[in-house]
Amino acid sequence: MEGWQILLGIVIVGIVFLGLMLAIAPRFTVRLPFTLLLPILYRKQVVGLENVPKDQGCVIVANHVSWLDGVLLLWMLPRNIRFVVDGGNFKNPIFKFLASTFDTILMSASPKSIGRALKTGREGIEAGDMIGIFPEGTLTRTGQLQTFKPGYQKMLKGTDGCILPIYLEGMWGSIFSHSGGKLFFKWPDKLRRKLTLHIGKPIEADTPVSHVRSKVLALGADATIHNRREFPILAKRIIRVWRKRWKSLQAADSLGQQASGRSMLMKVFALRRVLRREVLAPDEEYVGVLLPPSVGGVAVNVALAIDRRVTANLNYTVSSDVVNHCIKEVGVRHVLSTEKFISKTGLEVDAEMVMLDSLRDKVSIVDKAVAFIQAYLIPAFLLDAVLGLNKIQADDLLTVIFTSGSTGMPKGVLLSNANISHNVDAIDRAVRLNNRDTVLGILPFFHSFGYSVTLWAVQTLGPCGVYHFNPLDAKQVGKLSEKYGVTVLLGTPTFLRGYLRRIKPEQFSKLDVAVVGAEKMPADLFEAFEEKFGVRPVEGYGATELSPLVSVNIPPSRSPAKFQRDRVEGSVGRPLPGVSARVVTPDTDDELDANEDGMLLISGPNVMKGYANRDDLTRDTIHDGWYVTGDIAHIDQEGFIHITGRLSRFSKIGGEMVPHVRIEEELGRLFREGEDDEQIRVCVTAVPDAKKGERLIVLHLNTEKDISEIRKALSDAGLPNLFIPSQDSFLEIDEIPMLGTGKLDLKGAKQMAADMVAA
């Protein structure tokens, strides 16, 4: 018999066998190739499998990141899932056959088709089936969990079924997701990616949609925390990014320094060698840094990270006592600075000062030669081993950031590699920084946003970073923006008001994105900034203890949204991928419904490891993995967070909670009317009061406005009488107390008010 005849016989037998298998056990036969192929492509882990009902009908409510999600869930779960899907995607005969094999419920946009699908789903639940729903209705474009549509509730109505919340983590970045703004037409960012499926406990069928979404969001945080070892180690990542940047400008500053990616590597490797030889002991963990945001500041921080030290950037805008408190808190032995900079600060530091100027003379020819070889010649994977970067673990500390001290003495916030790396990845998804961007770095590195975003995110995501030490210096900010073509601005509303007055439109001609935080963005500032510069700012939210970014509205020019909104003005955006937010009653910790104000809690891989040497404070602020922000907020039906104010910025007067920020917003508008500048003119605080518990105090700059008229305007604006400070509670001051980070100095304002009232 000829060879071709044997081959033909084998093919015929195979086809007949496949046909018989499809006839006898179609579901098993179709599952088999996926069961064999998927483990080659993915590593799976299922957490909470015991929560899957054995025979009860239920609706599976899952996040939707990739086109392959349904197949993956069928592979990872033991029971068949009857997905409700858009029938338009299953017109192909092969797809139709696959859908029928798994009893998929096809649905089109017509009311009749939707009605039939809901009826079929309800019958399935009553029969004990698992019905699968992606309630977002579309693939996420950023990895963030979108609005949940309530259609699944109609399926459950009148049945004994339950809701099973699940979250699949790990598919973002695959060709089947919208990472990079593309679906399919891209290279996957890793091979054999790890997938983690977290299954929650079944919940009642009548649970509000907002609570169901909250459960899925919380599972997402758990899954991302579980998967945190998959985050890139930033010290490794920056070497690869700077090598790719080669001769491209990577960093520049107002001191006139400029450096390409390769020259940054040369600086960092040489500095690391000199610090190890001349300054730092092998067992020295924490190293202090007193430098402004600059090319040198970036190099020092990266050199310490590559040397596996924990960087402590110290706040140079506070007193020596506060700086020395921070030094003592973590046991800093050496502080790195320059003669010129330390002389400007006037600080007296209780640690050995190391002047980087003097270290230049100690850089030998050997140091330069080794740095050259490391920067140019050794492959990155070998360099990781040579430098010991392979020993860095996700939970190892990267930095300690001290809180602003706006309400007390600063606390040392311990942040790990995973904390900061997660923030970098989340910024990449939300703002989509790329190598065509130039980011203005005006936030100091002792500020968590400055450290995580304008240092690590900028330097590892591809943009060029342009740095300046004084964010209020609008003249220099304008010059730098024009010279380097700044496209991304990160700051506070206070900074933006200054730029409105002093920066010309042509200096911000390349500006494409403006993200603000730290304080409430006034409504009029959105309009004024867009009118002058053609860019509408968006708000974000974060805290030092959260590495720092929690949520952000997607900038209009970077928005990939098609079917759901990703920006709501007045909110601070949806939580970033992997971050969970919920609002509870401050007293009982019961979760509140959508649009109800309460205490905001955050969970995710961005939550700090704790406060340095303060386990008591750590226990007070982190409960079962949830960080208690101290902010009063609500989450709307679409999942956007709205900050009402800080708990510390409320006064309990006559038994009622009175928000300082609400009063401050109205007063700010009234005090600015008719003025030709946009500076902060008013701050609301409180002092103890024997009769009502507390008394509101308004600290304000000199004004010709009549206080009684201002009080009347507050009443006309709809503020209750309890919210309106008395005539003698308006106190004129020379300057509003501010911190170096651009925030109000709440502690200073409270003390100032107490002193003035007492006098």
CATH of the domain at 731: 3.30.300.30
Which 3 state secondary structure label does DSSP give 352? strand
Clarify whether residues 131 and 256 are in a common domain: no
Residue at which a domain ends, from 392, 412, 446: 392
Task: Say which CATH number the domain at 130 has.
Answer: 3.40.1130.10
Residue at which a domain ends, from 333, 363, 392: 392
Clarify whether residues 221 and 285 are in a common domain: no
pLDDT at res. 708: 86
- Per residue in 17-46, pLDDT (tens digit) is 445 544 555 555 556 677 778 888 889 899
Which structural domain range is residue 75 located in?
41-227
Clarify whether residues 168 and 209 are in a common domain: yes
Q: What is the mean pLDDT of residues 572-595?
A: 89
Task: Say which CATH number the domain at 290 has.
Answer: 3.40.50.980
Asked whether the beta carbons of 129 and 156 are under 8 A apart, the reply is no
Q: How many domains does the chain have?
A: 3
pLDDT band, very low/low/confident/very high, at 673 (cuts 50, 70, 90): confident
Residue carrying structure tokens 């925390």: 225
- Per residue in 309-354, pLDDT (tens digit) is 999 999 988 888 889 999 999 999 999 999 889 988 888 888 999 9
Distance of CA 209 to CAs 135, 202, 220, Å?
10, 14, 17
Beta-strand relationship, 488-491 and 513-516: parallel
Clarify whether residues 343 and 196 are in a common domain: no
- Per residue in 423-456, pLDDT (tens digit) is 999 888 888 888 899 999 998 999 888 999 999 9
Q: What is the mean pLDDT of residues 388-414?
A: 86
Q: Within a domain: residue 264? A: yes
Distance of CA 430 to CAs 212, 491, 508, 551, 558, Å?
24, 17, 22, 9, 8
Residue at which a domain ends, from 392, 408, 438: 392
Clarify whether residues 214 and 79 are in a common domain: yes
pLDDT at res. 467: 94
Q: Within a domain: residue 572? A: no
Clarify whether residues 276 and 332 are in a common domain: yes
Long-range contacts of 81-86 (CB under 8 A, 24+ apart): 81/130, 81/131, 81/132, 82/121, 82/124, 82/129, 82/130, 82/131, 82/132, 83/131, 83/132, 83/133, 84/117, 84/121, 84/131, 84/132, 84/133
Q: Within a domain: residue 378? A: yes
For the chain, the C-alpha Rg in angstroms (whole number) is 29
Q: Within a domain: residue 658? A: yes
pLDDT at residue 15 is higher than 60: no
CA torsion, points 232, 238, 244, 248, in degrees to nearest 10?
140
Strand partners, 657: 652
Q: Within a domain: residue 181? A: yes
Q: Within a domain: residue 624? A: no
737 backbone φψ class: left, alpha, beta (φ>0; ψ -120 to 50): beta
Round to whole Å and give the CA distance between 713 and 722. 14
pLDDT at residue 741 is higher than 70: no
Round to whole Å and give the CA distance between 64 and 339. 54
Q: Within a domain: residue 493? A: no
**One-letter amino acid identity for 604?**
G
- Per residue in 256-280, pLDDT (tens digit) is 899 999 999 999 999 999 999 999 9
Nearest to 651 by CA among 643, 661, 642, 641: 661
Clarify whether residues 255 and 223 are in a common domain: no
Which 3 state secondary structure label does DSSP give 239? helix
pLDDT at residue 570 is higher than 70: yes
Clarify whether residues 60 and 191 are in a common domain: yes
pLDDT band, very low/low/confident/very high, at 485 (cuts 50, 70, 90): very high
Q: Within a domain: residue 690? A: yes
pLDDT band, very low/low/confident/very high, at 63 (cuts 50, 70, 90): very high
Clarify whether residues 259 and 160 are in a common domain: no
pLDDT at residue 80 is higher than 70: yes
Clarify whether residues 265 and 190 are in a common domain: no
Clarify whether residues 182 and 114 are in a common domain: yes
Q: What is the mean pLDDT of residues 720-737?
A: 83
Asked whether the beta carbons of 107 and 113 are under 8 A apart, the reply is yes
pLDDT band, very low/low/confident/very high, at 87 (cuts 50, 70, 90): low
Clarify whether residues 288 and 342 are in a common domain: yes
598 backbone φψ class: left, alpha, beta (φ>0; ψ -120 to 50): beta
